[in-house]
Amino acid sequence: MDDVAKFVTDARALEGLEGYVIAFADGHRVKIKADLYALRHQALADIAQEKNLLGLIARDALDAVVPL
């Protein structure tokens, strides 16, 4: 890989995929998640807990989460 920064930028811009797992020769692994996937995952985590859901409702932010 010649341009690591470009790879990370491209990985974060992915649509329809979670991202990539990079495996190094020594066994170390790193995940790079797509921004859209991370946003959706966080939105689901937020509405899974009642206190977070109530916070979204109180801030009138639920409409921003529903499309995700």
| Domain residue spans of the chain | 4-65
CA atoms within 13 A on the CB side of 40: 11
Q: Tell me, what's the pLDDT at 51?
A: 75
Assigned token pair, 47:
């509405």
Enclosing H/E stretch for 32: strand 29-33
Tens-digit pLDDT profile for residues 3-44: 999 999 999 999 889 999 999 999 999 999 998 888 888 877
Instruction: Measure the CA–CA gap between 67 and 4, rounded to whole angstroms.
Output: 32
Q: Residue 67: which pLDDT band, with cuts at 50, 70 and 90? A: low
